[in-house]
Structure 1
Amino acid sequence: MDIRNLLTRFLSQQGYEVASAMTAAEVLVILARRTPDIVLLDLMLPQESGHAICRLIRKRSAIPIIMVTALADVRERIAGLDLGADDYISKPFDLGELAARIRAVLRRPSSPPTYPTSGLQPGCRFGNWIFMPEKRALYSTEGVRMTLTGAETDLLLLLWNHAGELLSRQRIIELLYNAPGAVEERTIDLLVSRLRRKLAHGGRQLEMLRTVRGDGYVFDPGPAVPHEGTAD
């Protein structure tokens, strides 16, 4: 039994409704018909690479993606995370671990979570950005919406509500996934890196999301001022 059939059978037994695909064209057909809750994406596919399909999905959707890979080269896995995957699992893997990773990703809140706030208000301008937490949306000051994945949006919400605080990688994992150790710390590093690069398009560079070596990250948006009239 190949891995696609194995996973389809296993996940069906776990109570999931499963649609499988082997090519980018089949993926597009599925996405046109429904919006999956999560995508398991093998990097080694017969026609297109998993990286190419991940890029294709990310152009159209923020659906959570877990990469499934047999590649030993960590750079290949990092490339997948860098393209917008939310997590990865390496073959051979335990089906119980896969199920746990799926549950962890699906536990991410679909609406803005409630954290003790730092005093920043919704709809505030910081740097050259306007963030609307209630809409899960980030706009440039020209009104152009920045495309963020679900994981990137969740991270920005978390950082927004903990602005100025030092957050360790493990603390970020606990807050994002409601479970310690749900993903590897390297996954958080790559997620932060992706968000940092997108925020850098607004003019300010690395100082907005600082790395404190050995300890974690601090989000420092600078002075935030209320903003009205942000486009939908």
Structure 2
Amino acid sequence: MLVIDNLHAEVDGKPILKGLSLSVNAGEVHAIMGPNGAGKSTLGYVLGGRPGYEVTQGSVTFDGPENQKLDLLELEPHARAAAGLFLGFQYPVEIPGVSNVQFLRESLNSQRRARGEAPLSGGDFLKLARAQAGALEMDAEMLKRPVNVGFSGGEKKRNEMVQMGILDPKFAVLDETDSGLDIDALRIVGDGINRIMRAPGKAVLLITHYQRLLDYVKPDQVHVLADGRIVRSGGPELAHELEAQGYAQVAA
């Protein structure tokens, strides 16, 4: 579903990704772990198309609608989203003056229009939004509030999972979704990822520092990212090895 080949990227002229290659098949969850500054968030931003992250070499191929092979790097960010890519941010932004409901309905309907689908009516959208909020144990009243304004760290991450449930992407890149979550919220968010994304035609790239989220979202493969490259890959047991021994020992 996603094939990254020899990807190099830089920020402000500084090389961050230095030949990263990775393949994620449909139906799989892959976890990326690594020390601070290794390039984990840069990888997410490059896949999402964030400005300021310049790809200098390599390619990214994505299976879009009807499994059409797309050159992801040639698409604008909104086109990547319409093709089925979702990027969950390490630090979700606040958008004062824009309600969750307004933001989410416009996001969903813009993607539906891009795919040639009819937009959802207000009533149908509210049913969908309330169902997704309920599944993530988020008070439906929070849908009326400005996007992430006044939300705790855990509420922002839970709200982001509601967004993912509504948009229903094919491929999710989740950057430290476990950051700021307490024990209960970690379980709820983990269950949400499994409910929304554990399906034969979907896949997840889960970027995390810690093994704890992987207790809930079982990865098919775990990769260690260090100095802009994948330096080691393995099964779920690799995450436990990292937790016990640290990155320097395992990636050496």
TM over 0.5: no
Greater fraction of residues in strand: 2
TM-score by length of 1: 0.31
Higher RCO (CA < 8 A, seq sep 6+): 2
Q: TM-score, normalised by structure 2?
A: 0.29
